[in-house]
Amino acid sequence: MYDCSVDEIAKYDVPAMLQLVQYHSGAKGKTIYIGHSLASSVAMMFASERPAFAKSLVSLFIFVGSAYKMTHMRSPYRMFFPLFYPALIVSRGHSRRLTRPTCMASPLIMMGCVAMVNMFIGPLTEIAPETLPVYFNQLPGGTSLKTLTFLRESTKGNFRKYDYGPGKNRFLYGSKTPPDYDISKITVPIFLIYARSDWATTKQ
């Protein structure tokens, strides 16, 4: 079972990936990082915590549908997420077993499942019919509860480190509450791309 938070992804995975690219390409400091949704979040975390290191590895960040503070989320899921979250905890490891037989039972039911997905990301999503079986065979993808917690916190306007509770927070961070990621410290140029029909990550 996954037990990592987005903090670990930002601290270890992102720089390791960029260093590997730099090692094989030889393009020191010229890598262009393109991140969609959560991939943009972890890049911002990494670059805000280690701005000089990020600058030495990346020349430009391109963020598509950036998941920052999702307080302007238009998706109905924002309203129901507090209800979904406990269900996700209870059903972890079993949700895909439910998704596969249900959504792949017939083409009609499959389209109904697509409509449910579109309630989260927006009404103009185009998924080719031939890819639907592949899509629902993989949905939902594996992740950690700590990552889901980050997404829940982002809908409340928080972009901060994982909240372990007052006791462990004091031990790890030196404060009762987890510190925010200060994106004003990012020195790498950022190019933002958004879609007007995106209900999850809006222009704001």
Which of 20-24, 78-82, 117-121 is predicted least confidently? 78-82
Query: Which has the higher per-residue pLDDT, 69 or 25?
Result: 25
Average pLDDT over residues 130-156: 74
Alpha-carbon distance of 37 to 72, in angstroms, equals: 15
Highest mean pLDDT among 84-93, 105-114, 179-188, 190-199: 179-188
Q: Is the pLDDT of residue 21 over 80?
A: yes
pLDDT tens by residue, 52-75: 999 999 999 999 888 777 777 777
Q: How far is CA 125 from CA 120, 128, 202, in A?
A: 10, 10, 15
- Better-predicted residue by pLDDT, 193 or 1: 193
DSSP 48-115: HHSHHHHHHHEEEEEEES--S--TT--STHHHHHHHHHHHHHHHTTTHHHHHHHHHTS-HHHHHHHHH
Report the pLDDT value the prediction gives residue 174, as an integer from 0 to 100.
95
Confidence of residue 114 (pLDDT cuts 50, 70, 90): confident
The pLDDT, as a whole number, for residue 1 is 46
Model confidence at 142, pLDDT cuts 50, 70, 90, reads: low
Instruction: Note the pLDDT tens digit of each residue in 145-186.
Output: 788 788 778 878 889 999 999 999 999 999 999 999 999 999
pLDDT value of position 105: 73
